[in-house]
Every structure is written in structure tokens, then in C-alpha cells.
Structure 1
């Protein structure tokens, strides 16, 4: 059995307090992760982990042993990563958390081109509206549209994500097309829950910030659902340009006040705070910047 991998498994189990989570991070089965830890324990002749049905924790011996081993493992990881940046092709599984609305043709095409360039990297993309914990859940990278990011992570700004205020042509014909932001006060709104649960939006204009108080009629953390509801004429919604530009071209949606109501939010690539980046992570970041993501098609 690979003793070095066994040490990595031990460290992951200790960090995540879970055999299954550690196995998922390292691309192993839970049974194999258990065997690796047992291999280390057998080699040194001591129990390193306390195991219960609900919790996994280091024993006193495990704490001492891992404290001595971690600097060695981290040094090896850093040396391998530094070499891989120049000498080794990117490879392995790359786990990336991305917003739900990135399930669209432009992003799929971008991913396909990356795969052609780096066929030895297996991309695992998790699309979920919640903010995942990169370290505890074993992700290499996350793409996040936000103006505020949690501490303990490195954030690399990729660009700005532009949003369109949209509604269906049928709705606008029925309710009338607004001529100014003031006309939107009290209008029915399809609200993205993490951002505008109460229907209040602040729009930067040439005159400064102008606040709109919409009337929420649908709340959801799924942008695609909000877009489909807008197509059905339920009201207004702010949508990422990647998600709605094809709908605008097909006439299913109409952009409202395009010269005024066009907010943008920074898009960041975030990853755990460490002094090196594996080749697979660096190659994906460099690729996103090279191809002009996220402003493709804007």
C-alpha cells in the first residue's frame, strides 16, 4: 500500500472529521480510506483516530504524530506543485463549485475547450445555490459572484458579471413599459433569494445610487426558475447576461431600461489559502482569464 497516500488520507480524515468526506476529496472509496488509516496505525503500532458512529477525532498519539508529519507533507506538496507548474501536465480531478445559472451552452462550450487543451484533467462541477465550504467539502476552487467574500480564502477577480433587468413582452404590453426607474416602484418582482429577498434593489446611475422597492411575487435561489417565471409574464427580474442573452435574441424576454438598469457584480475565483496551486487549478484559472471569462458574448 502507498504509505505516502496513507498519510495524506490520515490528514484528510483528521481535517474533515469524516472518512467519507476524506475519501471523496481524494477520489477513494470510504472502505479504501479506512484501509489506508489502518495501514498507518499498523506501521507505527498505535491507534491514531477515535471512531464513533457520529464523529472522528485524533487520539493523543494521532495529534502528536500528525503534527510531526504535516510539515513534511506540506513541503512535499509545495515542491511537487512548484515543479508541476512548469514541468508536469495538469491532471487529476478538479472539483469546482459554480453558480446554478452556469448550466448554459456558453459555459459548456468553454468547459469543452478546456478539456481539449487539458484532457488529463477531469472536471467535477457542482452547481448549487448554497455557499459551500471549500476546505471541509474538498473543493479545489469556486466561482462566486459577490462583492463580499469570507475570510481564509484567496480570491482572484476574473471580471464583472453583468445583469439585465428583463420581463416578457406580453407582460410589458399588458402593464406598460417603464420609462424610468421610478416607474418600477412596487412592480412585481422575481427575487433571487440570497440577494434581494425583500425586493429592494440599489441601482447606480449617473445621479448616484437610486433605490427601487419592488413587490416580490416569487422568491428562489435558482436563477433558471426565475427566468422561466419571467418568460411566463410574472414580472421583472435581474438576470446574468449569460443566462438571458439567448432569450432576448429569441424575443422571449425583453430588456428593460438597458441604459440605466444594468448593474454588475464582481466574479471571483476563490480557493483555500495556501502558498502553491496545483497545476490543474492554475491551468483552469489561466484559461478563464485567457478566454475573457466572464464577459464572453457581453
Structure 2
């Protein structure tokens, strides 16, 4: 997950059929969409993928399918810790790594409870490292069932082991992001990918390796464009406009997600169902209307800045 070139790492959706089964043909089409849009890597089996609604074998099968479609063109990472004792979690890390991923991702809330202190969490991380051979790992500050945010110093300690190469940051605090970046700057193999698009440009300028956000499940080309042009002195008016677009439309993209993202991709021509196993609210006509308005705003934007759509 090199940070030499800024990149977009999609938090992948999982297409399902109307009967709830995984739609592997749809997953192929979705993976190809991300690649055609210019994604620098893929984060399979994450919260957007409805990982908590899949069993172990489905998590492995979905990840392996993505790896097979990608064929080594970009790195793939995938969540590999879902609770239980350290040995159990370590065993699944090994099984997930065997699918061909670049790094197995540790959910920060799965190694210690919400009331347990950071020293308990840290001790368990080191135990997990001990039981997972030399497998490259990453961290994911997943907001469900609660969000455990890593302090900058603690992240540095983990990165200094040489085993941690990836971090999906969800702290929403640009000052903390900058502190994490400064504390890990000496490790070229490590990359921090920011999830919060409100400060996307500032994060990229501060040194983040790229962006890993749900907005990429609506318009991945736009996130890629921002990673490519955030510091282009000839494009700063357009960069400011794109950054403001993400800020202005933040709330609507989170409402009834991920159903709304699947609906939006349908409107773009991707043949997938809006079915989700995870209930996040009612997808009614009011929500559809908001998505239609968002689609119109995006069409105007991508035409004005001359972005080529992947679908």
C-alpha cells in the first residue's frame, strides 16, 4: 500500500441477489467499475460490504472473488478479525490472508471492549502479531459496534514493528490525522487512508496516502480525480469546488446507506440489486428523490471538470 502516489481505496459494497444470496456476477461488475475508475487498491469485506451480515465462509469467498477479478493489478485488503480469543482471531487472519490479500485488517473494536483501556487493547495487538507469523496487518477504526480511535503514539508503536502497513482512519479530526501522519512519516511502506471527505484535501496535503470513503461508492472517479489533482496549482478552483461538493452532499450519502449507494450505481448503469442484508432505514420515495437530485448535481460537476465516467 505504497504512499508514493496518492490513491483511492474503495470500501467495497457487496451486491446481493433479491433472495439475499451473494451476487458474484454483480461483484465482478462492481470490482471492474472501481478498477476502471482508477482505484489504487480495494478494501473488501468491510462495513460497507455488510461484513457483519456474512458468515466466515462468505467473507472468505467474497474476498477471494475480488482478488481473482483483480488479478494482481492493485492490492486488496480485507477485514479479518471478528471477535473471540486471540488465537481464534489469529486463525481467521491466516485464512483471510491465504485468499491472496496484501494485508489482513484488524478492526480496532474487536480486540478490547468499549470500557477496556488502551493498554489492554495494545497488549492484545502485540499478542495477535505474535500469533500471525509475518502477515502484514492494517487497522480499521470501524464505527460499529463502537469506534476505537488509535492515538498517534500508539499507532506509531504498532507501525514500528514493521508489520502494520495500512490504516483506515475514521477519527474525523484533521489535527489528530496530522499527528498520526507525523508520527509514522518515517515508515515508507505504511499508508494512512482517510475516510472523512470534509477535510479530504487538507488530509492529502498533510501526507495521507489517499482516501477510503463511502463517497467512492457513488462517484469513484471523482475521488480518484481529487487524489490526482489536490495539489495541482492549475486546478485549485476545481479542487475547491470538488471539496465543497463532498461537504454539501455529506448527509444525503449517509442516509439509508448502503441501499442508496446501490441505487445510485443502478442509475449510473451498473446491473446490481439494491438488496441489503443490513437494515439502515426505509428507502422511500423521499430518499430516492434526494438521490436523483444528487445524480443531477454530479452530472453537472463531472461535465464541468471533464471527468470520464467508468460506467
Pairwise same-fold verdict (TM > 0.5): no
TM-score, normalized by length of structure 1? 0.23
Structure with the bigger percentage of strand: 1
- Structure number with greater Rg is 1
TM-score, normalized by length of structure 2? 0.22
